[in-house]
Amino acid sequence: MSVSDPSTPPTLVLVGGFLGAGKTSLIMAASRMLAKRGVSCAAILNDQGDELVDTRQVQQNGTSVSEVTGGCFCCQFTKLRESIDALRQTSPQVIFAEPVGSCTDIVATVLNPLRRESDLVRIAPFTVLVDPNRAEQMQTFDADPSMLFLWKKQLEEADIVCTTKLDRYPDISILPQAMRVSSKSGEGIRAWLDLVLTKGLSAGEHTLEIDYEEYAEAEAALSWTNLSMHLDLEEVHTPSMLIGPLLDQLDEALTSENIEIVHLKLMDTASTGWVKAAICRNGAEPSVDGDLDASPSTRHDLLLNLRAVGNPERVRAILERATGQIKARERNLRMDCFSPSPPQPEQRIPALATN
């Protein structure tokens, strides 16, 4: 694989895909692989809200990271450009960027505006990730039409499609034209990096035709919740002991209210270690990462990011009940629960002029 010389603009690798597709996990695995080869990396994460589980996990990974919050990259393009400028001060050769998992129309609103500034970054082919289990769900007769709209539009503008979680779903052969990768085992990641970091494949070849009213309605079907708690527990708990029962409780409560979980992430950090657990649908077996053997502690910092199909106020009430049952001498709770506002890109360039 080849990357830009440190004296030239860094390569910007956008990694898109639906909520829970494994974008952050791939970025961390790829960053570790490149670091072993002496290639310096950074990452920019994106969210409608703030206080992100993914940012904290990437920091634990040892990768330089910046956030663009308060809206998608397209609606916060100035902030994205400022983040790129700030990260360039650390001289990364590769900058990974992860758009919001419900966001689409990336080529016209992000890649094309950035390509007009050739001295800022070199644009790599746009990769869109697909969770095989989600792909099967989207092809059933009862797939949510709003989620299906977003999922299909993301695929339409991809230069490269990768199915993820190969270690978990080795037998699901869906989207046969896609590359297959596993962030856990590392399988397929080197081949993907070879493809995105060489100059043989064009970037941003597929500009969408998209109805922004339909796009806004699809995003508005989602409830978006970011929660943080600083806890002094009445009894000592390990991070696993705290978030395991809480995750189960939330899964059960949301399911009983017929609220579809699209992505639920919990991360707890204590002085003895950290643990992250996540699910991408109701009743799923969680993926778990971190210091599973961390010692008990009374002091905990808990982060929760939930994306669900349902009314934000109903979701808020469920979360307030569940977190209120945590026995603590002190709790500092902050929660934002909302539906995304209609996307309003700062710039939209359907196609760049050619000479």
Cα dihedral 209, 214, 218, 224 in deg (nearest 10):
100
| Same-domain pairing of 234 and 333 | yes
Q: What pLDDT does 176 receive?
A: 78
pLDDT digits (tens, 9 = 90+) for 121-161: 999 999 999 999 999 999 888 889 999 999 999 999 999 99
Residue bearing tokens 């993926």: 287
| Same-domain pairing of 142 and 239 | no
Do 178 and 130 meet the contact criterion of CB atoms below 8 Å apart?
yes
> DSSP secondary-structure letter at 109?
I
Domain contains 3: no
Number of domains in the chain: 2
Two tokens, residue 118:
């050739």
Under the banding of pLDDT at 50, 70 and 90, the label for residue 355 is very low
Domain contains 322: yes
| Same-domain pairing of 211 and 191 | yes
Q: Write the DSSP assignment of 219-288 as a string of letters.
A: HHTEEEEEEEEEEEEEEEE-HHHHHHHHHHHHHHHHHHTTPEEEEEEEEEEETTEEEEEEESSTTPPPEE
Q: What pLDDT does 200 receive?
A: 76
Under the banding of pLDDT at 50, 70 and 90, the label for residue 175 is confident
| End-of-domain residue from the set 204, 219, 234 | 219
Under the banding of pLDDT at 50, 70 and 90, the label for residue 4 is very low
Tell me the mean pLDDT in the region 99-112. 96
Q: Which structural domain, as residue segments, surrounds residue 32?
A: 11-219
Tell me the mean pLDDT in the region 309-313. 95
| Same-domain pairing of 262 and 214 | no
Residue ranges of alpha helices (H) inside 8-131 are 23-35, 53-61, 77-88, 106, 112-115
Domain contains 343: no
Percent of the chain with pLDDT over 70: 97
The DSSP bridge pattern shows strands 179-180 and 160-163 to be: parallel
| Same-domain pairing of 261 and 248 | yes
Q: What pLDDT does 3 receive?
A: 58
Q: Is the pLDDT of residue 36 over 60?
A: yes
| Same-domain pairing of 236 and 206 | no
> Which residues, 6 or more positions from 256, have their beta carbon under 8 angstroms from its beta carbon?
none
Asked whether the whole model's pTM tops 0.75, one would answer yes
Q: Which helix (H) or strand (E) holds 117?
A: none
Domain contains 249: yes
Q: Of the candidates 102, 89, 90, which has an alpha carbon nearest to the alpha carbon of residue 17?
A: 102
Q: What is the spatial distance between Cα 157 and Cα 128, in angstroms, rounded to a whole number? A: 8
Domain contains 5: no
Under the banding of pLDDT at 50, 70 and 90, the label for residue 106 is very high
pLDDT digits (tens, 9 = 90+) for 209-232: 999 999 999 999 999 999 999 999
CA 204 and chain centroid, separation:
20
| Same-domain pairing of 133 and 232 | no
| Same-domain pairing of 187 and 304 | no
Q: What pLDDT does 63 receive?
A: 87
Q: What is the CATH number of the domain that holds 262?
A: 3.30.70
| Same-domain pairing of 209 and 76 | yes
Q: What is the spatial distance between Cα 11 and Cα 226, in angstroms, rounded to a whole number? A: 31
Q: Is the pLDDT of residue 118 over 70?
A: yes
pLDDT digits (tens, 9 = 90+) for 177-196: 899 999 999 999 999 999 99
| End-of-domain residue from the set 194, 219, 244 | 219
Do 295 and 273 meet the contact criterion of CB atoms below 8 Å apart?
yes
Q: Of the candidates 90, 12, 16, 25, which has an alpha carbon nearest to the alpha carbon of residue 53?
A: 25
| End-of-domain residue from the set 187, 219, 251 | 219
Q: What pLDDT does 5 receive?
A: 53
Q: Is the pLDDT of residue 2 over 60?
A: no
Q: Which helix (H) or strand (E) holds 326?
A: none
| Same-domain pairing of 203 and 259 | no
Under the banding of pLDDT at 50, 70 and 90, the label for residue 353 is low
Dihedral sign, CA of 29, 98, 179, 126? negative
Q: What pLDDT does 100 receive?
A: 96
325: β partners? none
Q: Is the pLDDT of residue 105 over 70?
A: yes
Tell me the mean pLDDT in the region 199-210. 89
Domain contains 352: no
Q: What is the CATH number of the domain that holds 155?
A: 3.40.50.300
Q: What pLDDT does 352 receive?
A: 63
Phi, psi of 214 (to 5 degrees): -65, -40
Q: Is the pLDDT of residue 252 over 60?
A: yes
Domain contains 128: yes
303: β partners? 228, 267
41: β partners? 94
Q: What is the mean pLDDT of the chain?
A: 93
Q: What is the spatial distance between Cα 95 and Cα 75, in angstroms, rounded to a whole number? A: 20
| Same-domain pairing of 70 and 183 | yes
| Same-domain pairing of 184 and 262 | no
